[in-house]
């Protein structure tokens, strides 16, 4: 059974230290994936942060960091066990996180996705995101990053 909770810092470092292969490859485009403490610090500093637990074991972290005006950067990373939490996380995002962001005045969400991470791209489309641009100047490799965006009225 999966539950969604506010994370502890240890939850974030645990998930970061046990990243699934697809998230490790994607995050490697913009950061050193061996530095899971830095990843946990970035997640911890987000205003909106959550963790999915599978029988009390943290398996997925996700959240949003408000930026300028009505825009937030959304993010997520998981362990291999995190794949099983996707349905619960999707429901939580739709029922709880998006309304909380709307209440705070956030109407636009952006997310950077690796060009080879087709599963994440499909999931973001399911959540109402659309690809907007490929940013060759973002990241550490030539492939660049795909910027996904969701704008709500």
- Separation of first and last alpha carbons in the chain: 34
Dump the DSSP string for 62-79. Answer: EEEEE-STTEEEEEEEEB
Structure confidence at residue 7 as a pLDDT band (50, 70, 90): very high
- 3-state DSSP call for residue 105? coil
pLDDT at site 143: 58
Residue 39: what pLDDT? Answer: 97
pLDDT of 144: 73
CB of 108 closer than 8 Å to CB of 98: no
Q: For 114-132, how does the pLDDT look when each residue is reduced to its tens digit (9 = 90+)?
A: 988 999 999 999 999 999 8
The whole-angstrom separation of Cα 70 and Cα 134 is 22
pLDDT of residue 141 exceeding 50: no
Class of domain 2-151: alpha beta
Q: Where are the domains of the chain?
A: 2-151
- Is the overall model pTM greater than 0.85, yes or no? yes
Q: What does the block give as tokens for 49?
A: 């942060």
pLDDT tens profile 65-118: 999 989 999 999 999 999 999 999 999 999 999 999 999 999 999 999 998 899
Instruction: Let me know if 11 is exposed, middle or buried by CB neighbors in 10 A (0-12, 13-18, 19+).
Output: buried
**What phi, psi does 40 have (nearest 5°)?**
-65, -40
């Amino acid at each position: 059974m999966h539950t969604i909770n506010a994370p502890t810092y240890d939850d974030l470092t645990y998930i970061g230290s046990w990243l699934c292969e697809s998230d490790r490859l994607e995050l490697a485009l913009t950061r050193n994936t061996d530095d899971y403490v830095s990843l946990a610090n970035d997640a911890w500093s987000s205003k909106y942060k959550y963790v999915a637990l599978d029988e009390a074991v943290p398996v997925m972290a996700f959240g949003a960091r408000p930026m300028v005006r009505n825009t937030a950067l959304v993010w997520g990373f998981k362990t291999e066990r995190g794949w099983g939490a996707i349905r619960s996380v999707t429901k939580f995002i739709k029922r709880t996180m998006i309304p909380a962001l709307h209440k705070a005045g956030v109407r636009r969400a952006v997310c950077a996705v690796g060009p080879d991470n087709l599963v994440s791209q499909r999931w973001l489309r399911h959540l109402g995101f659309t690809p907007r641009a490929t940013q060759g100047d973002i990241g550490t490799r030539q492939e660049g990053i795909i910027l996904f965006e969701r704008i709500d009225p």
